[in-house]
Amino acid sequence: MAKSKQMHENWKIRTLIEMVFDNIPYSDEVVAAQRKIESALHAEYDGQDSSKTADDMLEQYGSLQKLAALAGFSAEDAERWRSSGNALDSRPLKKELRRQHLRIWLTAAFCVFGMLQLFWLVYNLTAKPAAAAGNLLVLGVDLLIASFPFRKYLKTERAAADNQYDTDAYRLLRMRSDRYTKRLLNSIALLFAVVFVFIFSELSFYVFGNSKSAEFAENFFKNSIVIEIPVFLLIKNILCSRIYRNRIHLPARKKMRNHVSGITVFSTVYWFGVTAFTVLKSQTLTYPGNVFLIAGIVFALLVGLYNMTLRSRLAQQNLVINKPRIAVCTAAVTAVSGFSMLQRDTWYTQSYINSVPVVPHHAHEIAYDDATGIYTITASTDDFRILHLTDIHIGGSLYSFRKDLKALKACYAEIAYTKPDLVIVTGDLCFPLGIMSLSLNNTAPVGQFAAFMRNTGIPWAFTYGNHDTETLASANQQELNDVYRSLSYRTSGNLLYPYVQPDIMGRNNQLIELRNKDGSLNTGLFLIDSNAYTGEGINIYDYIHDDQVDWYADHVRRMAQEAGKTVNSFCFFHIPLQEYKTATELYLAGSEEVQYYFGENPGDHGGITNDLVCCSDYPSKLFDTALELGSTTGFFCGHDHYNNASIAYKGIRLTYGMSIDYLAMPGIEKETRQRGAELITIHPDSTWDLEQIPLSTIT
């Protein structure tokens, strides 16, 4: 109760002083006088009835002369305080502050660059001594350049030490003082958080990932901007805060020192505690990085709580609500952090992938031709079995984790049941479409599926689909190609991705030659990129271009020349040809030109409603070329998810793969009859059988 009464009295006294001194220019002498007058007022009203209002105080001591006399000052002193002849107004002050801020930004930037050079110098002294001299020279030049704006900054501050300021200028300085006090304290907290999280994450790869010191150093400097930004902000805010303390001595030096020490100690203890907990529990935590994510959120909330409460003791006006700025900053932070999160490489399915056992299968001889990019599989058995999977649609995010897990388990069920010699995926392995998967990352799904297939031990190959590299995906076409090359046969032992590809339209146009035990050509497996979008609008699908078809025809003729006869072949791609639509329409119309084998199309005796056939608006000459050459007896595609019919048109079998998708199509997770795969069994005489394997029949 007594404390509350004292705070109320303090408020009335401070209000009185601020009102009387409202138009008095700021100076060190005035500040000292205000403190003495405040002490005199406390002595005057100490022990008096608390019912005395601020109006009563104002009536008794409502003039500068009366307050001055109460504290023992003369009328001449009061008149001297009132004099504003030498007081700066806000306009020249703002110009001076802008120049000072520019000097501070330059100084902070050069300091951060110098810090980076110092890191390199320390590293090179042990790893590359010859390069250390260059770092030392750059560091010296950097510090020399940084000294110019910093010296000018110091000279200006020394000259401003005894300035007087009019009311508007003083209010400007006080407002800026509050702002940079807040920024300085927050930048200290930010630096501690970033340093601990960054260094721990980098060291964890070095210590637990068995990285070499050179790899650690390279990765550290590559990502060092994460530390450079908070260091830059800290230097900038220290120097900016010094500007305002030098002019109006706010906040009080002792109070400021206590708050700086407090937030430094708190941040140190907090993050040491988080780090220690993570290290101690590292063996039992599935994702140790999530501990730091949660700790970061809690830390930000605690710093925000401090800003709203304890920091008010340093500020004249603790929080200024600027709604437009808050809205813009919130939107920017949400957009940047959201985009960053959507591009993160997450491995939430890793526990399951690690548990996947090898599927029993036959071992066949696999060879790769570096000149042509052709893989050759020489069968060790009479029959060769190919499992066709399509539209797996792995999102790779925490949001899609449950559905990703279902997709991988469905793939494993099909592989374990059929025990194939080769798996071919006809596109849309990834789904980096943020709306449904809440992920834009298309490297995590690739890495996950490659690891999954490596554990099964089954060789596999694939064609690209339209979703594998969306516009906003984290990796573009070339970058994803590099990822696949890094995971290919020489690394994994089972991904048949060519290191050399033909100079034609598309990506991963490849031929896998299947040979019998005696080495004779049995079947050519053409994996052709149907490409993605034309760029002419949303979902305007591309097609298999003429140069791709010419490449296909050249290899068909080459194989026929080698074998002395037409060699059977299959074509695998993602987006169906227009002939799929023509054949489907003929089949649904009851035409005898089409032979039905199995499966459903939309509109076929109650099939699930979807586009009849989702093909490109542009025709491809692949079908007509295949008819002319007489080699290809089967086309296999995906893309339509619900379409899974197999029909023959003009002697070529057109087969839609049963999709795996649990994620991309709305409501598809609950549907079952379209989900599964196809098993192609190729006999020594190149004849073949095709069997549909619905997932519902084997699980």
Can you spell out the DSSP letters for 164-232? Answer: EE-HHHHHHHHHHHHHHHHHHHHHHHHHHHHHHHHHHHHHHHHHTS---HHHHHHHHHHTTHHHHHHHH
In 3D, which of 133, 249, 124, 270 has the Cα closest to residue 181? 249
The answer to whether residue 232 scores a pLDDT higher than 70 is yes
What pLDDT, on a 0 to 100 scale, did the predictor assign at position 53? Answer: 66
CA-CA distances (angstroms) from residue 560 to 4, 469, 650? Answer: 99, 35, 21
What's the rounded mean pLDDT across residues 387-414?
93
Tokens 């790779």 — which residue? 396
Q: Are 572 and 636 in contact (CB under 8 A)?
A: yes
Q: Are 576 and 463 in contact (CB under 8 A)?
A: no
Boundaries of every domain in the chain: 2-82, 87-333, 383-697
Residue 336 pLDDT class (50, 70, 90 cuts): low
Q: Are 470 and 464 in contact (CB under 8 A)?
A: no
In 3D, which of 697, 688, 639, 651 has the Cα closest to residue 386? 688
The answer to whether residue 339 scores a pLDDT higher than 70 is no
Tokens 């230097």 — which residue? 235
pLDDT digits (tens, 9 = 90+) for 91-140: 999 999 999 999 999 999 999 998 888 877 877 777 677 778 888 899 89
**Among 269-278, 556-565, 600-609, whose mean pLDDT is lowest?**
600-609
In 3D, which of 73, 79, 4, 10 has the Cα closest to residue 37? 73
Name the more confident of 67 and 356. 356
Residue 7 pLDDT class (50, 70, 90 cuts): low
pLDDT digits (tens, 9 = 90+) for 601-643: 765 444 444 467 889 999 999 999 999 999 999 999 999 989 9
pLDDT digits (tens, 9 = 90+) for 449-474: 999 999 999 999 999 999 998 877 88
What pLDDT, on a 0 to 100 scale, did the predictor assign at position 35? Answer: 82
**Alpha-helix runs per DSSP H in 365-500:** 401-418, 434-437, 444-456, 477-487, 489-492
From the options 1.10.150.80, 3.40.50.880, 3.40.50.11900, 3.60.21.10, give the CATH code of 383-697. Answer: 3.60.21.10
Residue 692 dihedral angles phi and psi, to the nearest 5°? -85, 135
What pLDDT, on a 0 to 100 scale, did the predictor assign at position 275? Answer: 85
Contacts of 524 (CB under 8 A, 6+ apart): 511, 512, 513, 514, 555, 556, 559, 567, 568, 569, 570, 631
Q: Are 368 and 504 in contact (CB under 8 A)?
A: no
What pLDDT, on a 0 to 100 scale, did the predictor assign at position 606? Answer: 44
| Two structure tokens written together for 173 | 């300085």
Give the sign of the dihedral formed by CA 419, CA 423, CA 425, CA 431.
positive
Beta bridge partners of 460: 423, 495
The answer to whether residue 353 scores a pLDDT higher than 80 is yes
Residue 623 dihedral angles phi and psi, to the nearest 5°? -65, -50
Name the more confident of 103 and 47. 103
What pLDDT, on a 0 to 100 scale, did the predictor assign at position 458? Answer: 97
**Among 228-237, 324-333, 371-380, whose mean pLDDT is lowest?**
324-333
pLDDT digits (tens, 9 = 90+) for 495-531: 999 999 999 999 999 999 999 999 999 999 999 999 9
Cis status of the peptide bond prior to 251, with omega within 30 of 0: yes
The span from the CA of 454 to the CA of 476, in Å, is 24
Strand, helix or coil for residue 589: coil
**Among 179-188, 304-313, 431-440, whose mean pLDDT is lowest?**
431-440
What is the percentage of the chain residues whose pLDDT exceeds 70?
89
| Two structure tokens written together for 346 | 């997450």
Range 46-53 contact pairs with CB under 8 angstroms and sequence separation of 24 or more = 50/5, 50/8, 50/9, 53/12
> SS3 for 76-145, per residue?
HHHHHHHCCCCEECHHHHHHHHHHHHHHHHHHHHHHHHHHHHHHHHHHHHHHCHHHHHHHHHHHHHHHHH
Q: Are 448 and 353 in contact (CB under 8 A)?
A: yes
Q: Considering the chain, what is the average pLDDT of its residues?
A: 87
What pLDDT, on a 0 to 100 scale, did the predictor assign at position 78? Answer: 82
DSSP letters for 347-372: -TTHHHHHHPPPPP----EEEE-TTT
The span from the CA of 511 to the CA of 517, in Å, is 19
